[in-house]
Structure 1
């Protein structure tokens, strides 16, 4: 998911893996350890199929993948990133996002499942949404303003992450990715075509910004 507003670089109130912490660095430690990978783009087959469940936890390979996802997300100035966005067929995503209330959320989750929200309790909010795999355009998308996602951390421990507002949108957006869905799928056909045209016109500029950011971070 692309950043729509907020500054994720400042040290504010922080929740890591859903738990509050007293302090946190500007860049998550994973960013320093990770390597930047190429971000897949709409049209690539891996973005259109349901990803495989993570079955091996506590491995160096899984930790390295998470580090790389954080580094790639940071260079792309993203709010969140799913594994299939770096061409890895696994149900896994990371996030580093500051919500409307100034709370920074940082973490990762494997095999995420969103709780169903009863219709009578569902409050839909329309906000601009972008995607690192659709470089450039943002479009208004309607989503519930609250989300609870359940899964596992990298060591296999049960994990429950709850979010409201922009963070809830991020949790839903990234879970969608792991089921083979993009935010473009929620748009009318004409609007989707317009967004793709804007992407084609702006992606070179977006890639240049990412390259400059990578150089700035020594990546």
Structure 2
């Protein structure tokens, strides 16, 4: 009987040790998860730089460039500012440029704006959309609403910041309509981190006589 007890006792100890080893990663994961969530919750997003100049802008649909003949203002940088706790995960980035309010173009099309490059990488046709309003007989008209979508690894240290350059170009096409008012295009960028979506807004301003719309 003593032999049976001696054999069974080590087996019991091995089973206990094995169970404890499997439980350690589970405990570590449970502790780490709240820290990651807290970091995302402490982060914020904002456009942090812009440029006002006689800009030369790339044509996203058809190629080539156009140079504005009046001072045009575009945002050039967006910054994610982090709080306590590092962020290291892939996010979905979406940039939307809306139609300018207060300008009615019932017939014909004007150009809008879309993302030419993001974080130093030129956008592709597959990442961009440009959608005009449409009506029977008239067809497409007005300004396009544009979107740009990509993914990005967001790697920001605790209490750090990540600044990303962004370059806008001209989207859609023009039928030669005259735009006789200041055109202010709303710009929105969202960074979807899974557990939270960060949002920042800005505008693109095109004065009368710029000759690019």
> Which structure exhibits the higher relative contact order, with contacts defined as CA atoms closer than 8 Å and separated by 6 or more residues?
2
TM over 0.5: no
Task: Compute the TM-score of the two structures, normalised by the length of structure 2.
Answer: 0.23
Larger radius of gyration: 2
Quick check: which one's helix share is greater? 1
Quick check: which one's strand share is greater? 2
